């Protein structure tokens, strides 16, 4: 992943005064989930998002959770209709709750969805872009990378880019998007995290706005 230049945006993990490092032990993993973790770790490593570390004062455990694909209705043994969640696969997650508790909170505001929809209304044509692996595009400051260390059956690793689960990740990412697109926001574009609706009053106008965003 190429990523956004650190000169434009970089994530910091600033701790509350008096916060002390702590290590969590590796948690038992269902043997059936071992391959899920292995594939994810290899993917993150091959894309340059994580790197192995010998030791760290901050170590967090992993979990494997189901990917939910929506809700469906089935008939149970009593001939009753009940709703169930559909599982489409499994996802490796890192438990950063302990780190988040001692992290100073970034109160950068996220836009209200209803206000974005109000600003988008009234135009004739729209084009919708979805950012690729949004958080992974933003680098973590080198001095803060050890705080993202996680342990799994295949070793101990730290992140170079923002992982999911850090409390201030949304604020950092939204601030970054505002900085990059500040000259065209409200003019032809709205931004909510990694969703980019582009608008125009005619088809040709909308197409002219598209390269302004992509560039």
> What is the tens place of the pLDDT at every residue in 139-180?
999 999 999 999 999 999 999 999 999 999 999 999 998 888
Give the pLDDT confidence of 38-70 residue by residue, as tens digits: 999 999 999 999 999 998 999 999 998 887 766
Range from 103-107, 176-180, 186-190 that averages highest in pLDDT: 103-107
167: CB partners within 8 A, 6+ apart: 96, 100, 103, 105, 106
The predicted pLDDT at position 49 comes to 95
Instruction: Answer yes or no: is pLDDT of 85 > 80.
Output: no
Instruction: Answer yes or no: is pLDDT of 194 > 90.
Output: no
pLDDT band (50, 70, 90) for residue 1: low
Range from 45-49, 69-73, 107-111 that averages highest in pLDDT: 45-49
The predicted pLDDT at position 168 comes to 94
Euclidean distance between CA atoms 51 and 179, whole angstroms = 29
pLDDT band (50, 70, 90) for residue 81: confident
Domain residue ranges of the chain, discontinuous segments joined by + = 10-214
In CATH terms, 10-214 corresponds, of 3.10.10.10, 3.40.720.10, 3.40.630.40, 2.40.128.120, to 3.10.10.10
The predicted pLDDT at position 215 comes to 78
Q: Which tokens belong to 20? A: 């002390």
> Coil, strand, or helix at residue 194?
coil
Beta strands in the chain (DSSP E): 10-11, 50-52, 62-75, 81-94, 125-130, 139-140, 150-152, 155-159, 195-200
């Amino acid at each position: 992943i190429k990523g956004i230049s650190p000169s434009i945006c970089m994530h910091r993990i600033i701790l509350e005064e008096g916060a002390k490092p702590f290590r969590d032990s590796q948690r038992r993993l269902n043997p059936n989930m071992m391959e899920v973790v292995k594939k994810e770790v290899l993917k993150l490593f091959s894309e340059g998002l994580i790197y192995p570390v010998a030791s760290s004062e901050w170590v967090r455990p992993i979990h494997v959770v189901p990917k939910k694909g929506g809700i469906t209705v089935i008939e149970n043994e009593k001939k009753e209709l009940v709703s169930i969640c559909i599982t489409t696969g499994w996802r490796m997650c890192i438990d950063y709750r302990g780190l988040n508790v001692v992290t100073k909170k970034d109160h950068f505001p996220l836009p209200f969805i209803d206000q974005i929809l109000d600003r988008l209304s009234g135009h004739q044509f729209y084009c919708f872009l979805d950012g690729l692996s949004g958080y992974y595009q933003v680098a973590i400051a080198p001095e803060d990378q050890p705080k993202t260390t996680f342990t799994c059956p295949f070793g101990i690793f730290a992140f170079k880019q923002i992982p999911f689960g850090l409390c201030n990740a949304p604020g950092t990412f939204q601030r970054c998007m505002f900085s990059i697109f500040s000259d065209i926001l409200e003019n032809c574009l709205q931004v909510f995290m990694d969703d980019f609706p582009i608008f125009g009053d005619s088809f040709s106008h909308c197409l002219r706005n598209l390269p302004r965003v992509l560039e």
